[in-house]
Amino acid sequence: MEKKNIDWGNLGFAYMQTDKRFVSNYKDGAWDDGAIISDATVSITECAGVFQYAQTCFEGLKAYTTEDGSIVCFRPDLNAERMKQSAERLEMPVFPKDRFIKAVIDTVKANEAWVPPYGSGATLYIRPNMNATGAVIGVKPADEYQFRIFVTPVGPYFKGGVKPLTLRICDFDRAAPHGTGHIKAGLNYAMSLHAIVDAHKAGFDENMFLDSATRTKVEETGGANFLFVTKDNKVVTPKSNSILPSITRRSLMVVAKDYLGLEVEEREIYKEELADFAECGLCGTAAVISPVGKINDHGKEICFPSGMTSMGPVTKKLYDTLTGIQMGRIKGPEGWVVKIS
């Protein structure tokens, strides 16, 4: 198989149409067999539930070329499970988990020429998504859906080196206490766009959202979970029912405990504690961990001792170990790295 002629090292994070995608349609109460197809466009009624009432959810994971030249992906079973939970909360039909995993593998295989080579820093981003395709005008769940997986090669996240982020504590809320913050729904992103555009205008990289009930506790950013390191090297992450359960964050907590021998804790984290931490990072599939250098709380700056030029030492070890597992340089726990070809 010949790789596409792409300058892998200089790819950004943008959509590039590849050759193949997986599509399965739900009609009359059942999913069809699905197929790998070439058509990158979706043609559905103007009255589709996704257009009217935002009945849509998605997932994100990556395929990597490992040191020995295999193509693998990382914990796709957890994406399958999370998409099941998203679908259930949005009254959408669940795409069976075993079929989800097989469809991920088949889609990557069909686009093997687009999987960036080992050492390039680039990866193949995989985007499963489900949309209500049936017409609805009265407010109710649609009766037809499409599950689709497309892929797109994406560049190294830390191109030009690691730059710690500057966050601001945001006055907009991301998720209500019993709302949809814990599922990967497009609607959570639609309403975060104003907050992020506003943050960028004010010179910040990201928003730190607080719990909307009391506005005293740390939740997450628009698309990544928080990880903190205390001054005595304990790894702490916020506990809340309205945070999206990041697979990267859950994996990093295991790495911290079982690979680095660190104490780990998932608990409520108060805004008042922020100044006591030694390191702070944002976790998600895109970057694994992006270090946070400072947080602006309405003009008052909280600067982490790790500074504005590099990752803190614990963040760096976590990053190196997890990416080492993903790239096949370090043996991962059973089932984490799934071989595609």
Ligand X SMILES: *Cc1c(COP(=O)(O)O)cnc(C)c1O
* Residues lying near ligand X in the complex (CB under 6 A): 60, 184, 220, 223-225, 244, 246-249, 283-285
From the list 223, 142, 229, the residue with the least C-alpha distance to 190 is 223
Other Cβ atoms less than 10 A from the Cβ of 121: the count is 17
Residue closer to ligand X (CB basis): 144 or 205: 205
From the list 149, 59, 151, 41, the residue with the least C-alpha distance to 102 is 149
Angle at 74 between CA 71 and CA 79, to 5 degrees: 130
- Residue 76: CB minimum distance to ligand X, A: 11
Residue closer to ligand X (CB basis): 79 or 306: 79
335's tokens: 């089932």
Rg (CA), the chain: 20
Please tell me the distance from the alpha carbon of residue 267 to that of residue 51, in angstroms, as a whole number.
38
| Cα distances (Å, whole numbers) of residue 23 to 36, 95, 340 | 6, 11, 19
Residue closer to ligand X (CB basis): 65 or 285: 285
From the list 299, 214, 303, 228, the residue with the least C-alpha distance to 266 is 228
Catalytic pick among 20, 62, 184, 271: 184
Residue closer to ligand X (CB basis): 136 or 289: 289
- Residue 103: CB minimum distance to ligand X, A: 18
Residue closer to ligand X (CB basis): 56 or 225: 225
Please tell me the distance from the alpha carbon of residue 154 to that of residue 115, in angstroms, as a whole number.
9
Is 317 an active-site residue? no
21's tokens: 């995608």
The residue behind tokens 């200089």 is: 10
- Residue 57: CB minimum distance to ligand X, A: 10
Please tell me the distance from the alpha carbon of residue 338 to that of residue 219, in angstroms, as a whole number.
30
- Annotated active-site positions, please? 184
